[in-house]
Amino acid sequence: MDILPAERLNDFCDSFQTKFRYFANSNGQVMKMHNFNSGPSILPAEVLTQAAEGIINFNNIGLSILEIGHRTTWFGDVLNEAIALVKELMQLDGQYDVLFLHGGGTTQFMQVPMNLLDDGETAAYCDNGIWGSKAIKEAKLFGNVNVVASSKDKKHSYIPKDFAVPADAKYLHYTTNNTVEGTEWHTIPETTVPLVTDMSSDIFSRPVDFKRFGLIYAGAQKKYGNSRCNACCDKKRPVG
């Protein structure tokens, strides 16, 4: 079957309103398709090769990484390396723990207040988009919620700057990057209460003083591994 030139292939992609693009070398030969949709990005060939080798024969132990037990030293080394790399990127020391949990970031909407908010206690929340709204809904099942900042009046098109957090709040929760609405916090709120934040879509996108937070959670499908920033990259984001 004849292979179409990159220009023809890109026209074909456009007809389906996708963000895939083919790149060609100087001879016009198609070299690689790139994915510019939100979600998974393109990986270097050497990374794909190493991953493929691990599926066949992980670190030359004679077994696939899919065939070793989660309690083995082999897998323990993989997990410990992942934790060490996260701490290195976030410049965190032994006072901090890194947990890999099931359920993605959305499950933490429930687990955060379940663990941190008792009956009769109040947590402060920022409502700046769909993810913050979902977190507020879950938190109300476990305690009182004080929405101290909201951009709902303008369809979540901005980040509130002037708001007060009660000193007796158990914590302040906010979403750093609102992927659906296209707004992002560029500063960390000043408050005396512990900060809890959903950093699913921008956790490793820039240097941050992570030690200022009491708890950070993030869905692994967005900013870890082969994933990249979400659809908000296509929108104009006001400085918060």
Burial class of residue 197, CB neighbours in 10 A (0-12, 13-18, 19+): buried
pLDDT score for 229: 47
CA atoms of 42 and 19, how far apart (whole Å) = 13
Section 178-187 average pLDDT: 90
Q: pLDDT tens across 132-169, in order?
A: 999 999 999 999 999 999 999 999 999 998 899 999 99
Residue 29 structure tokens:
């030969």
Residues annotated as catalytic are 131, 198, 222
pLDDT at 9 over 70: no
Residue holding tokens 């934040």?
197
Q: Which of 27-36, 42-51, 200-209, 214-223 has the lowest mean pLDDT?
A: 27-36
CA atoms of 215 and 135, how far apart (whole Å) = 14
pLDDT score for 147: 98
CA atoms of 89 and 83, how far apart (whole Å) = 10
Which CA distances in Å does 104 have to 38, 213, 218? 17, 19, 7
Section 30-49 average pLDDT: 71
pLDDT at 188 over 90: yes
Given strand 172-175, what is the order of strands in its sheet? Answer: 144-150, 122-127, 172-175, 195-198, 215-217
Which residues have C-beta within 8 Å of that of residue 186, sequence separation ≥ 6? 239, 240
pLDDT at 81 over 90: yes
For residue 177, what are the β-bridge partners?
184
Section 18-44 average pLDDT: 62
Section 114-120 average pLDDT: 93
Which CA distances in Å does 216 have to 84, 137, 139, 212? 16, 19, 16, 10
If pLDDT is split at 50, 70 and 90, which confidence band does 230 have?
very low
